């Protein structure tokens, strides 16, 4: 397992992770202005005593805060503080989920296509990055009754896929970005001992990015393990 993590490190150093971070900042800073947002959400229901009619400045401030959390997560990831980056990405994911709830309750117009595009992209990237952080841990010893990091990582990738299912026409990741998510999902499945699921995900990733050596190596490794398992049985 440690050798496999080293391959993941090499991918990141080559830009496998970092180029995603740079693109996020470039894509969204043109749309999101600065501002503050109470992360405790104490004031969300206080405007006019209801959830309705969030002003544009408030929406932009909320989106900006979620983006800042993800950027802070990027910085923690690059510094090697993966538990901190995991928490920050999780907080960003939570904020986006909260905004989606506000939208469903009528506080934000459902006809605002730019908002829908932004939250779809932000949820996808926050969840994918959260999975990447979880996969960087060197140990997997959850507290009694807890959930392993591999299960959390797979759950995070499911959150990214759910974002696309919720709004299939709002925003779509590029092939490389989708392959990156599926790669992480395959790693999570592998860590859980679900080699059938891991093979399914890595095959899809290879179809999207057939020239990527890391994907091909993981695919070969998983297929070899599955074949050995069949022989033992």
Helix ranges restricted to H, the chain: 2-13, 18-29, 56-78, 82-104, 113-134, 149-166, 175-191, 195-208, 213-232
Reported confidence tier of residue 9, pLDDT bands at 50, 70, 90: very low
Are the C-beta atoms of 206 and 212 separated by less than 8 Å? Answer: yes
Instruction: Provide φ and ψ at 145, rounded to 5°.
Output: 80, 0
89 vs 30, higher pLDDT: 89
Fold of the domain built from segment(s) 174-233? 1.25.40
Q: Residues 117-149: pLDDT tens digits?
A: 999 999 999 999 999 999 998 765 555 567 889
Whether this prediction's pTM lies above 0.85 is answered by no
Q: Where in the chain is the domain with CATH 1.25.40.10?
A: 174-233
151 vs 51, higher pLDDT: 151
- One DSSP character per residue, 33-49 reads ------TT-TTTTTGGG
């Amino acid at each position: 397992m440690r050798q496999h993590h080293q391959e993941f490190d090499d991918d990141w150093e080559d830009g496998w992770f970092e180029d995603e971070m740079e693109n996020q900042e470039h894509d969204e800073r043109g749309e999101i202005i600065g501002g503050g947002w109470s992360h405790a959400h104490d004031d969300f229901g206080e405007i006019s005593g209801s959830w309705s009619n969030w002003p544009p400045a408030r929406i932009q401030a909320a989106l900006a805060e979620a983006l800042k959390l993800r950027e802070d997560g990027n910085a923690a990831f690059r510094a090697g503080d993966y538990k901190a980056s995991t928490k920050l990405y999780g907080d960003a994911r939570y904020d986006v989920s909260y905004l989606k709830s506000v939208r469903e309750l009528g506080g934000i117009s459902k006809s605002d296509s730019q908002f829908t595009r932004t939250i779809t992209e932000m949820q996808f990237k926050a969840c994918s990055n959260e999975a990447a952080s979880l996969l960087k841990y060197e140990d997997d010893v959850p507290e009694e009754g807890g959930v392993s990091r591999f299960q959390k990582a797979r759950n995070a990738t499911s959150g990214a896929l759910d974002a696309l299912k919720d709004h299939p026409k709002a925003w779509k990741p590029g092939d490389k970005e989708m392959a990156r998510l599926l790669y992480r999902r395959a790693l999570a499945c592998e860590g859980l001992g679900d080699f059938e699921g891991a093979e399914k995900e890595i095959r899809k990733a290879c179809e999207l990015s057939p020239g990527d050596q890391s994907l091909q190596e993981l695919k070969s490794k998983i297929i070899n393990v599955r074949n050995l398992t069949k022989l033992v049985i």
